[in-house]
Structure 1
Amino acid sequence: MKDLLFAVCLLAGLALTNSVQASEWRAVCLKLCKCEVRPWFSPSSMYNEAPTVDCNDLGLLSLPERLPSDTQVLLSQANSIAKIDSPLDYLVNLTEVDLSRNNISSLSDVYLGHLPQLLSLHLEENWLSRLHDNCLANFPNLQELYVNHNLLSLISAEAFRGLNKLLRLHLNSNQLRAIRTEWFQDLFQLEILMIGENPIARIQDMNFKPLINLHSLVLTRMNLTEIPDSALFGLDKLESVSFYDNMFPKVPQAALRQVQNLKFLDLNKNPIERIQRGDFVDMIHLKELELTKIEATNNPRLSYIHPNAFSKLPRLEVGI
């Protein structure tokens, strides 16, 4: 009888504890955030139903102290968060954190704890000026990192050390003046790199050589006039390159010839006047080419295309 009474009391206690915790979580969600199950796609495009905490656009200065234990996606865009010192490692299912459009100026002020299960981290549209060595070491399985639209002027050589599962890296729209090959030493699984809209004066030989699985490279709006012949060497899986809105006076054919599997090439808004016969030689897989003319009256316009410029590219669609 005593054993039965003890068991009943224990169950009642557990039920009361769970009820209190659920009540606390509901209070957080009702007063601050929305908590609901939403559709979610993993970085590898796998569909899932994910318990999501939505704290977007609430004027928050910090994250809620306690969140539902089953939280998988945490959204906190468009707030005023500058610092996080309460770790989230009690959220063992947390796979995505979105802190975009906040007031974060240093990753040393963002302590999320050790989150080996985290796959996606959004930090775009903050005030980050540098990424120091090992600054992302707490997220060893990260697959997506968005640091675009910040003020990055310095990325240390080992900033991305250990991120050997990263698939997407967005560094566009910052203040970077050079690309260092050392950044990419551990990023051999990377598939997408967006690094355009930075004041980078020159691409170096073999700048991207460690990125042996890269599929898409975006180098838009960088005022590039040329790239070295070996700039794209080693990118055997590269399928898409965008040089949109640069200053190329001619097609960088020697560099592009290194990319045997290229399918999409964007040369829109470059002051290219002439397309020569050999500009796209050996690009047997090229399917789409963008060559829109520049309309500004003070810029040269595409005025000549050799009659046989595309003769060996039977499946090519050209946008001019």
Structure 2
Amino acid sequence: MKEYVLFYFLALCSAKPFVLPPKYMALNDLMLKDMEDDDDDDDDDDDNNSLLPFKKTVPLRPTPPPFDMSPSCPFGCQCYLRVVQCSDLGLTSIPDKIPHDTRLLDLQNNKIKEIKEKDLQGLSSLYALFLNNNKLYKVHPKAFQPTKKLRRLYVSHNQLTEIPSNLPKSLAELRIHDNKVKKIQKDAFKGMESLHVLEMSANPLENVGIEPGAFEGLTVYHVRIAEAKLTSIPKGLPSSIYELHLDHNKISAVELEDFIRYKDLQRLGLGHNKIKDIENGSLANIPNIREIHLENNKLKKVPSGLPDLKYLQVIFLHSNIIGKVEVNDFCPTGTRLKKSLYSGISLFSNPVKHWEVQPATFRCILGRTSLHLGNFRK
């Protein structure tokens, strides 16, 4: 027994102090590192057009208490390192006494109906504003004037009938999913040269609702207008887009001129539409495309032009009415080479007789697991 006790004390004395691994760092600390300014006194940061600002290293500071118990924190909210969290409180309006140095304001899952003119007054350092899942239907034209550094605005799942006017020119990400927006007016994004992400799905938006010149001067990389009422591919979107998602619409055809503007497009979502035909030469206008979704449409054949897309890696064609697959539908012939092999081709739920498909048809895939053929079941 004495030997066991002695061994225990020796192990205890030689043990090292317990240190938390890096992955347990507070999420708020990581977020604030992303939001730190190079110079808090400089309000004109014209050179910073990135979605996530890159900031200089700041000296380490003592760890503050978990929550700031300052009287300036709105009643019922939690304030911590310039983050004000007021979600799920049943609020009917934006609260008062929000600290002026707030960088992130979380007001999700409340009952806020309106953003008044002075609701955001003094919040000149605000970086992100989350208003998802409220009852918002009205925004004062001057409400966002104080927020000259706002980069992220989330107003999804509300009752807005139009895009709020006079949005901050500094905005890089706008998510207005699941509202009642029927129109994108010409000046909706005027001067917003830093806007990179636009999410507008689940709005009753038609093609005629996109006014000519609505996206003029923008450098948007990600556009999503799914679950809307589009009957054709919009032709006035920014030419800079890398990702275009138009799933769950009423698009019936793809025409030759639809992709002329989008030379840099790398990911295209057209699933769950009513596409019967893709005009020859249409896909040649997007030579850098990596991924195409055409599942759940009414295609009768594999779209022409796929072998010429050297970088295409994923093509989804399942749940169509494709009856035959030719040997050269996917892969280039002769001396032409494909720079990126297919990692995913889906053809299941089509009336294809898979036993008639020649093995050489899929000579440019990575392996057997890259092909999903299956049987057709009525």
Q: Give the letter for the 1:211 counterpart.
A: Y
Pick from 259, 275, 290 the counterpart of residue 325 of structure 2.
275
Shift of the 292–205 alpha-carbon distance from structure 1 to 2, 3 Å rule, reads closer
Q: Is 2:120 aligned against 1:66?
A: yes
Deviation at 1:229, TM superposition (A): 1.1
Shift of the 200–82 alpha-carbon distance from structure 1 to 2, 3 Å rule, reads same
Q: Is 2:280 aligned against 1:229?
A: yes
Pick from 247, 251, 255 the counterpart of residue 204 of structure 1.
255
Q: Deviations over 1:223-253 (max 9, x none)?
A: 212201121232121111110111112211x
Deviation at 1:34, TM superposition (A): 6.5
Moved more, 141-150 or 273-282: 273-282
Match of 1:247 in 2: 298
Match of 2:246 in 1: 195
Matches within 5 A, 1:299-310: 300=351, 302-303=353-354, 304-310=356-362
DSSP-derived class of the 1:162 partner:
coil
DSSP-derived class of the 2:315 partner:
strand
Shift of the 145–155 alpha-carbon distance from structure 1 to 2, 3 Å rule, reads same
Pick from 156, 170, 190 the counterpart of residue 117 of structure 1.
170
Distance 1:95 1:251 in 2: 42
Match of 1:127 in 2: 180
TM-score normalised by the chain length of structure 1:
0.77
**Contact 2:226/2:249 (CA < 8 Å) preserved in 1?**
yes
Q: Give the letter for the 2:149 counterpart.
A: N
Deviation at 1:280, TM superposition (A): 0.9
**Contact 1:233/1:259 (CA < 8 Å) preserved in 2?**
yes
TM-score normalised by the chain length of structure 2:
0.66
Shift of the 313–300 alpha-carbon distance from structure 1 to 2, 3 Å rule, reads closer
Deviation at 1:178, TM superposition (A): 2.0
Pick from 220, 224, 227 the counterpart of residue 271 of structure 2.
220
Shift of the 220–126 alpha-carbon distance from structure 1 to 2, 3 Å rule, reads same
**Contact 1:146/1:171 (CA < 8 Å) preserved in 2?**
yes
Matches within 5 A, 1:278-297: 278-282=328-332, 284=338, 285-294=340-349
RMSD over aligned CA atoms reads: 2.6
Q: Percent identity?
A: 18
Deviation at 1:76, TM superposition (A): 0.2
Pick from 203, 210, 218 the counterpart of residue 155 of structure 1.
210
RCO higher in 1 or 2 (8 Å CA, sep ≥ 6)? 1
Deviation at 1:33, TM superposition (A): 7.9
DSSP-derived class of the 1:131 partner:
coil
Count of residues paired in the alignment: 274
Match of 2:73 in 1: 26
Distance 2:78 2:345 in 1: 44
**Contact 1:36/1:52 (CA < 8 Å) preserved in 2?**
no
Q: Is 2:132 aligned against 1:77?
A: yes
Match of 2:189 in 1: 136
Distance 1:88 1:270 in 2: 46
